[in-house]
Structure 1
Amino acid sequence: MKKQFAGLVLALAASAPALAASETFVIDGTHTLPRFSYSHLGFSTQLSRFDKTTGTIVVDKAAKTGSVDIVIDTRSVNTGFPLFNEHIQGADFLDTAKYPTATFKSTKVVFDGDKPAKVEGNLTIKGVTKPVTLTITSFVAGPHPMLKKEAIGANATVTIKRTDFNAGKYTPTVGDDVTIELPVEAIKQ
């Protein structure tokens, strides 16, 4: 009886489809530089970025699930002009003395076919958390040609309102809408 049971277990195990496990990728901070843009007095669209980003992305392609956890060092804001960097770090905008990071933590990854298309989650800026949906405009998974490890890359975008995050000084003269673009690369661990 034991041999028959063991044989049945082995037969079932051999015939069951392989279960794909989730894969964890660590953000490559040298190639993940979130950008943000907004209207400046109606004259131009200003574009700035953050130079320090960390986090992880978990993807289970077979189950079509995943998670995203990103931390942006808001003190690394780079407008291209040191005095303006300080201005944006001030209490009227990012208040980096009190809130040195902004975070995004996913609640759901939505797939379109075999690729993620949207990531729903909570964005926290200046101590205020709001639900947002990142729209993924491109996604690639494959071997990294230089590191010889599996990697993923994506571009995502979302538009938020500064006033929702207590950073609305000079609104509406300086645009309330801020478009955040997140180019991300991550390496499998």
Structure 2
Amino acid sequence: MKRTLATLLATFLSAGLILTGPGGARAQEAAPAFTKDPGQVKAGRYRLDPAHGKITWSISHLGFSTYYGQFTDVSGELVLDPKEPGKSTLSVTIGTGSVNGLNDTLNAHLKQPDFLDVEKFPQATFVSTSVDPTSPTTARVNGTLTLRGVSKPVSFDATFNQAGVNPVDKAYSVGFDGWVVIKRSEFGVNAFLPLLGDEVALRLEGEFKLQ
């Protein structure tokens, strides 16, 4: 019995060496190498992955609840300089017609002239003017938001998530989240004020691919 156990143990150990050893033909694939250290991120020009980039908005609904929706047509370009983050730049374009409040009637109304007026203003844009690091993994991104033809200075808080080779598409990727609150009245969206909230919270989520 002892001999049998010893033989089985030796067999399993040998199999493990074959699977994990540096020269084994069946060596296990190395785990993806991700980093949460911004200083280790590759510098360069990145493009927002449209499948993993969106903006979630929320607004007070008559004071009874907070209503949520999204913009799903979002494109963007990021020029990243990890060594000197303040030199990084960001530009984002939002297709206003992609607004989605999870209700067909509401979606149709949000596209009308008293709200986004998507026929006249099919796009909104944000172009950064400066980036102010606030910690090793966070920054204040300052820029100009243009919505309904009105341009205003806006600053949002960005958080670096991680970077590395995406195991699905093998593209080197970097991920960020962002947060900002704007007043819609400043951009000419005055419908149903003050019953519907003036302040609109925007949560930005994006994965960028190195070009």
* TM superposition score category, shorter chain reference: 0.7 to 0.9
Counterpart of 2:154 in structure 1 is 132
Whole-Å separation in 2 of the counterparts to 1:118 and 1:175? 25
Question: 2:145 is matched with which residue?
Answer: 123
The offset of 1:22, in angstroms, is 4.2
Pick the aligned partner of 2:117 from 92, 95, 98.
Answer: 95
SS at structure 2 position matched to 1:139? strand
Moved over 3 A (4+): 112-116
After superposition, the C-alpha distances for 1:161-184 in whole angstroms (9 at most, x for unaligned) are 010000011111100000011001
The residue that corresponds to 1:75 in the other structure is 97
Q: Aligned letter for 1:69?
A: S
Report the equivalent of 1:60.
81
In the TM superposition, 1:3-18 aligns within 5 A as: none
Q: Which moves more between the two structures, 122-131 or 61-70?
A: 61-70
Task: Please state how far the C-alpha of 1:114 moved relative to its aligned partner.
Answer: 4.2
Q: In the superposition, relative to structure 1, how do residues 170 and 176 fare at CA in structure 2: closer, same or farther (>3 Å)?
A: same
Cα deviation, residue 143, structure 1 = 1.9
**Which whole-Å CA distance do the structure 2 matches of 1:67 and 1:164 have between them?**
25
Question: Match for residue 141 of structure 1?
Answer: 163
Secondary structure class of the residue paired with 1:176: strand
Kindly indicate whether residue 68 of structure 2 is the aligned counterpart of residue 47 of structure 1: yes
Which residue of the partner structure matches residue 186 of structure 1? 208
Letter in 1 for 2:128: S
Conserved 8 A contact 1:116-1:139: no
Residue type of the partner of 1:28? D
SS where residue 107 of structure 2 aligns? helix
- Output the CA distance in 1 between the equivalents of 2:106 and 2:178: 26
Structure 1's unaligned 5+ residue stretches are: 1-19
Deviation at 1:21, TM superposition (A): 8.4
The amino acid that maps onto 1:172 is P
User: What letter is aligned with 1:38?
Assistant: I
Deviates more, 1:147-156 or 1:109-118: 109-118
User: How far apart are the structure 1 equivalents of 2:164 and 2:138?
Assistant: 15
- Alpha-carbon distance, 1:55 to partner: 1.5
Q: Which residue does the alignment assign to 1:16? A: none
Work out whether residues 109 and 116 of structure 1, in 8 Å CA contact, stay in contact via their aligned partners in 2.
no
Uncovered stretches (5+) of structure 2, i.e. residues with no partner: 1-40
After superposition, the C-alpha distances for 1:114-164 in whole angstroms (9 at most, x for unaligned) are: 444111000111000110111014432222121222111111010000100
Give the structure-2-normalised TM-score.
0.77
Contact (CA 8 Å) 2:137, 2:160: kept in 1 or not? no
Distance in 1 between residues matched to 2:156 and 2:162, nearest whole Å? 16
Q: Report sequence identity in percent.
A: 36
Task: Answer yes or no: is the 8 Å Cα contact 2:137–2:159 preserved in 1.
Answer: no
Q: Does 1:38 align with 2:56?
A: no
Aligned to 1:17: none
